[in-house]
Amino acid sequence: MAQIPATVVTYPDGEVAGTATVVHAVPLEGGRTGVLLDRTPFHPVDTAWPDQPADVGVLRTADGEIPVVATLTGGVHDGELVVGSDLPVRMGTEGWTFVVVHVVDGPGPAVGESVEAGVDPELRAALSAGHTACHLASLALDAALSDAWTKDVTTDAAGHPAFDMLAIQTSRITSYGSTDVYRVGKSLRKKGFDPSALDDLRALEQRIEATLTEWAGSSGGIGIHRDDHTLAGRRSWRCELPGGPVELPCGGTHLTSLAQIERLTVALEASGVPGGIQFTMTTSVTVSR
Ligand SMILES: [Zn+2]
């Protein structure tokens, strides 16, 4: 098999369309085909940390439009392509080449064929807004809990104790929002976190939203920065908050300015779990059209 090249990805720049060449095709279950392109605007769902859902859209060929029903992450190792949940390694693992797999029904376009890749722009816009809201809410959560720590711990991009990073269990970006699940147990208490800071969740919501209201509609730019344009390349999210710029690792897509945000709200809900507290932060964002 000819060597499969790493996919160049254009979605970090906000692209939703582009011309590409089919470099490989792999049969998948159910008569589907995984189509690999040399470059793509399609954001695939990550296997190890599936926070932002995959793009959907179409591949346009000379013969018509082929719907892309799913976009997965693939890895090539020793000439063998492994797709989606079968991938045994994290993105960026040494010795692997990472690719975007466009899943289509039927055989799909032929290797060597030129296609016009087009992402559903409405879904992308909704997920980009949701992903930006997710990052902002987690930074505001860290700020709101900064006085709940009795010891020095790792800090976040804004310099506050990194509650989000230390307590997060799962993070899911949704259309114009996100759902983040946190767990406070023995290890976080040992690090110096006082769980009584979570006793009054309504007051905590208000503190988070006070920060988010300050940020929403301000003029700061938002962007993804990178040197390596392949799928596995390191990328970071930079945002000019009113209090100063922040930067953190991120593989997703985003709004381009805080000015686009009209309103950002959070809802917290706690549930007891053995040995600790689990709570969910549901974030919602409204953007200007
Ligand atoms: Zn992110």
Indicate if the pLDDT at residue 276 is higher than 90. Answer: no
pLDDT band, very low/low/confident/very high, at 48 (cuts 50, 70, 90): confident
Provide the pLDDT for residue 3.
Answer: 86
Distance from Cα 102 to the centre of ligand 1, integer Å:
22
pLDDT band, very low/low/confident/very high, at 21 (cuts 50, 70, 90): very high
Q: How far is CA 204 from CA 90, 176, 207, in A?
A: 34, 22, 5
Distance from Cα 238 to the centre of ligand 1, integer Å:
10
pLDDT band, very low/low/confident/very high, at 2 (cuts 50, 70, 90): low
What is the average per-residue pLDDT within 85-107? 95
Provide the pLDDT for residue 1.
Answer: 52
Distance from Cα 1 to the centre of ligand 1, integer Å:
35
> Are 4 and 36 in contact, with CB atoms under 8 Å apart?
yes
Distance from Cα 78 to the centre of ligand 1, integer Å:
30
Q: Which residues pair with 80 in a beta bridge?
A: 77
The reported pTM is: 0.95
Distance from Cα 252 to the centre of ligand 1, integer Å:
5
Distance from Cα 253 to the centre of ligand 1, integer Å:
8
Distance from Cα 6 to the centre of ligand 1, integer Å:
21
pLDDT band, very low/low/confident/very high, at 6 (cuts 50, 70, 90): very high
For the domain covering 8-119, report its CATH number: 2.40.30.130
Provide the pLDDT for residue 256.
Answer: 98
Distance from Cα 21 to the centre of ligand 1, integer Å:
28
3-state SS class at 166: helix
What is the average per-residue pLDDT within 192-212? 96
Class of domain 122-287: alpha beta
Provide the pLDDT for residue 5.
Answer: 95
| Number of helical (H) and strand (E) elements in the chain, helices listed first | 4, 17
What is the average per-residue pLDDT within 32-48? 96
What is the average per-residue pLDDT within 241-267? 97
Provide the pLDDT for residue 244.
Answer: 96
What is the average per-residue pLDDT within 76-102? 94
pLDDT band, very low/low/confident/very high, at 272 (cuts 50, 70, 90): confident
Q: Where are the domains of the chain?
A: 8-119, 122-287
Q: What is the pLDDT of residues 128-184, one digit of tens each?
A: 999 999 999 999 999 999 999 999 999 999 999 999 999 999 999 999 999 999 999
- Residues 23-33 as b/e (b if ≥16 CB within 10 A, e otherwise) read bbbbebeeebb
pLDDT band, very low/low/confident/very high, at 269 (cuts 50, 70, 90): very high
Q: How far apart are CA 196 and CA 203, in angstroms?
A: 12
Provide the pLDDT for residue 106.
Answer: 94
What is the residue-wise DSSP string for 212-241?
Answer: HHHHTT---BEEEEES--BTTS-EEEEEEE
